[in-house]
Amino acid sequence: MSAPSVVLACVALAVQASPASARQTKPGAETLSGTPSESRGRLTFWNLYGVAFGVVSPVPSGETSLGLGRMLRPRVSPIGNVWSTTLGYEFTLSVGGADFYSAFISYGGRFGLVQHRHHLAAVGYGGRRGRLMYGFSGGVALWNTRPLALEAQARLGYVFAVARGSSVRGVVGGQARLVGYLDAIPLPHFSLFVGLLVF
């Protein structure tokens, strides 16, 4: 074998054994590498449909939520799980007895069956295989143009129906909301929801 051939062979072996090459061939590295640069700042959307139950209401409310946000930089846990979170605005339209009876008993007024909510929200998913969905938000509830309550809520759910290479994810889960009626008694609402994340 000629001298140039020996040199080229040694260089090739050194490149294959280098740490950079080892990182590139590490199982799962293609999922973790590139994710922050590709995802950060991306526009996100979520649409959820739920049934809310009030502790003082015999009749639940139906509600739909629409959210729009921007993806924050994904975080990688020490065990290699990726957690992706978006921060944005969420609008919720609630129709039914849970909101009507809660407002009537706590606030002492008849405010109709329809209320709308405006929240600053953080929504995301992660964990093993990205199957855990989570969300936290806070804002105000209104009847027509009249503010009724300050609120905070939290969600936990399961991510399903993820097509390989797709940004659309199905979710199902539960939600707890504390409705702090102005100058009145705060009351909790509990919900079940199903919907879509487009991250």
Do residues 89 and 69 both lie within one domain? yes
pLDDT on residue 39:
67
Q: What is the DSSP string of 101-170?
A: HHHHHHH-S---SEEEEEEEEEEEEESGGG-EEEEEEEEEEEETTEEEEEEEEEEEEEEE---TT-SEEE
Do 56 and 8 belong to one domain? no
Residues 15 and 39 occupy one common structural domain: no
pLDDT at 127: 92
Q: Are residues 104 and 151 in the same domain?
A: yes
What's the CATH number where 57 sits?
A: 2.40.160.20
Residues 20 and 112 in one domain: no
Burial class (CB in 10 A: 0-12, 13-18, 19+), 35: middle
17 plus 38 within the same structural domain: no
pLDDT, residue 103, reads 85
Q: What is the pLDDT of residue 19?
A: 45
3-state SS class at 181? strand
Beta bridge partners of 71: 86
Specify whether 43 is located in the same domain as 64.
Answer: yes
Which is it for the CA torsion 52, 54, 60, 63, positive or negative? Answer: negative
Q: What was the pLDDT predicted at 181?
A: 87
Task: Note whether 136 and 107 are same-domain residues.
Answer: yes
Whether 97 and 23 map to the same domain: the answer is no
Q: Which residues of the chain have pLDDT under 50?
A: 3-4, 6-8, 10-37
**Which residues, other chains included, contact 175 with Cβ-Cβ below 8 Å and sequence gap of 6+?**
50, 52, 135, 153, 154, 155, 190, 191, 192, 193
**Are residues 40 and 25 part of one domain?**
no
Summarised one tens digit per residue, pLDDT across range 106-132 is 767 777 789 999 999 999 999 988 899
Query: Does residue 5 share a domain with residue 76?
Result: no
- Structural domains of the chain, count: 2
Query: Are 115 and 21 within one domain?
Result: no
Phi and psi for 75 in degrees, rounded to 5?
-110, 140
**What is the span of the domain harbouring residue 39?**
34-198
Q: Residue 111's pLDDT is what? A: 76
Contact in structure between 87 and 69 (CB atoms under 8 Å): yes
Amino acid letter, 55:
V
